[in-house]
Structure 1
Amino acid sequence: MPTIKSSAELRNNYNEISTFCHTYTEPVFITKNGKGDLAVMSIEAYEEMNSRFELYGLIKEGLDDIVDGNTRPFSEAMTAIRSKRKR
């Protein structure tokens, strides 16, 4: 269940919310006038989330290459990699 705090709680209890975000590595949703406004998370959690998005993007590129037929045999790919390492 998400953690939801008001903007007043963020202002008045910043350290408590910061500690929560670092301890549980999950966002705290901040409301303003009773409506969702922000998601606050630690930098570590943000970087991890961003890394996942980058990985998912690379996986999608690979899957798209398979669908488009942009592939080659494993042995051919390994030969190309080995020849680049020898340079």
Structure 2
Amino acid sequence: MYIKPSAAIRNNYNEISNLCKESGEPVYLTKNGEGDLVVMDLQAFEQREKMLKLREKLVAEEEARLAGKKGYTIDDLDEVLKKAAKGQR
């Protein structure tokens, strides 16, 4: 974890940008000794957002399963995939 004072972003933007890109980790900025902002590389942010969306979908499906939603067996899935491979539905 990288922690920098908020003035660092103003005075050393390129250094912080490079740190974010090279480490793939966020940089925490403080103001008057307290946490204020988080700065991170755009690519790392987009990857994190994709993971969060995937986790949301997985949690929703698991909740639906626990609520009784019908699922598919491996045999059901195998049949669907075979039909799809043959171009059928």
Stretch deviating more after TM superposition (33-42 or 63-72): 63-72
Runs of at least 4 residues of structure 1 off by over 6 A?
none
**Percent identity over the alignment?**
35
Code of the residue aligned with 2:52 in structure 1: it is: F
TM-score (structure 2 length as normaliser): 0.80
Q: Could you tell me which residue of structure 2 aligns to residue 39 of structure 1?
A: 38
Q: Could you tell me which residue of structure 1 aligns to residue 4 of structure 2?
A: 5
Q: Could you tell me which residue of structure 1 aligns to residue 64 of structure 2?
A: 65
CA distance in 2, matches of 1:47, 1:11: 24
TM-score (structure 1 length as normaliser): 0.82
Q: Could you tell me which residue of structure 1 aligns to residue 88 of structure 2?
A: 86
Q: SS in structure 2 opposite 1:69?
A: coil
- Structure 1 unaligned segments of length 5 or more: list them: none
RMSD: 1.9
CA distance in 2, matches of 1:50, 1:36: 22
